[in-house]
Each structure stands twice: as structure tokens, then as C-alpha cells.
Amino acid sequence: MQTSLEYTYRLFSMNATNKSGTYGELVLKVGLPPSKPGKPVITDASFAAQTIDISWLRPSEVGGWPILTFEVWVDDGAGTWPAVPISLEAS
């Protein structure tokens, strides 16, 4: 197998006279985890607006497939993490 390729599997059963219909397909994308993004840095903050903007450098290696989203996890300031991250589309 090779990274950045997509392999499709189909399964049939056969007896002495016939082949079945296929139950479906399994698609497997082969890749490696992307490298870490750069450390986030604060680019703007406003106490009045209660906002903090951050930025980071894209990972240098994508693992064979384009990066689609980034997950940003933000604790509540008291060390409690949310159940789900903020998901940002990669552009």
C-alpha cells in the first residue's frame, strides 16, 4: 500500500455455479498522521469584546492527504476542558 491512495474492496461469495451480488464496498484511504501545527500565538485580544484571536503555522507534513479541519480546544480558565473542540475549516 502507498500513502495518499484510496483502495476499494468488494466482497462476493461464490459457489460451483454462481457469484453473489456484492454486499457493498469498503473504501480505505491510506495515510499517516499529519505533523503537529506550530505553537499557537495570540494575534489579537480584547477584554471589552471578550475575544482572543490566535494563529499558528500549518503542519509541515500532511501525511498524504490535505488537512481539512483544525480542532481548537479551550479550557474554561479553571482547567475544565469542554466535551467537544471548536472545529475550524483549513483554508
Measured distance between the N- and C-terminal CA atoms of the chain, rounded to whole angstroms: 29
Q: In the prediction, which pLDDT does 22 show?
A: 84
pTM check: above 0.85: no
Pairing mode of beta strands 41-46, 25-30: unpaired
Give CA separation, 37 vs 34, 52, 62, in Å.
9, 19, 10
Domain locations in the chain as residue ranges: 5-89
Asked if residue 91 has pLDDT above 90, the reply is: no
Mean pLDDT across 10-33: 93
- Quote the cell numbers at residue 45: 485580544
Instruction: Note the pLDDT tens digit of each residue in 25-71.
Output: 999 999 999 999 999 999 999 999 999 999 999 999 999 999 999 99
Q: Which of 36, 35, 55, 37 is nearest to 45 (CA)?
A: 55
Q: In the prediction, which pLDDT does 11 show?
A: 93
